[in-house]
A = this chain, B = another copy of it.
Amino acid sequence: MPNLDKSLVAHLPIFSGVAPDDLTEILRDAQSIRYAKGTSVFQQDEEAHSFFVLLHGHLRVMKVTPDGQQVVVRFVTPGDLFGIAMAMARTTYPASAVAVVDSVALVWPSAAWPRLVAKHPALAVNTLQTIGSRLNDAHTRVVEISTQQVEKRVAHALLRLAQQAGRKGEDGIQIDFPISRQDIAEMTGTTLHTVSRILSGWEDQGLVEGGRQKITIRDPHKLFILAERSVD
């Protein structure tokens, strides 16, 4: 991996506590690959040949049910570790990842993982924390879907998106990649119709501003209030 500047990745949480020399060694096993918008990075149930760190762009990770329904698991943002199926003792990917914009990722062969963690235990510890926080997110999501009604769930989803992929603009926070109502529906366990209705309603109140695969949050605070307040 000679073309990659170490300083670009040294600060990433996965590499925290890793000595510079060790990092050089770790990066030697990786190559950086570009994925064009719309391209699949890996597919659910396919052999887990690689694991990744996203350098640039955004990915949508989703699961498909046997009967063809999709659920968005999460969006990957730069710096994120993903596709680490084998760290969890899986041989196949539990979900599919698709680039929603042109993206670049560091790619290691899965086979390198055992050796890497053996040599650099910090990797295991850091990964553990990453997965831990992801587990936390998943549980939060279960709680939300189980107890809150759709409008609040959508509000939460939007705020979360804004937090991890929000670009501050003139007129509010914009989600930094193309995202459809369908996507939001699949994140919150509802239908694109309901999402559309909700967003339309909010738009009338000046809370958000819609567009084709585009959402701008005009009034984050009000949205937050809406997300937190208990049902009247």
Chain A interface (Cβ < 8 Å from any Cβ of B) = 63, 65-67, 69, 71, 73, 87-90, 94-95, 117-118, 121, 124-125, 127-129, 131-136, 138-139, 141-143, 145-147, 186, 189, 230
Contacts of A69 in B (CB 8 A): 146-147
Known: A89-B132, A131-B131. A67 touches B230 (CB 8 A): yes
Contacts of A131 in B (CB 8 A): 88, 128, 131-132, 135
**A138 lies within 8 A of B132 (CB):** no
**B88 lies within 8 A of A139 (CB):** no
Query: Which of B94, B143, B146 contacts A136, CB < 8 Å?
Result: B94
- Min CB–CB distance A229 → chain B (angstroms): 10
> How many copies of this kind of chain does the complex include?
2
The SS class assigned to the A binding surface is helix
**B135 lies within 8 A of A88 (CB):** yes
A-B pairs, 3 with minimum CB distance? A88-B132, A146-B189, A138-B138
**A128 lies within 8 A of B127 (CB):** yes
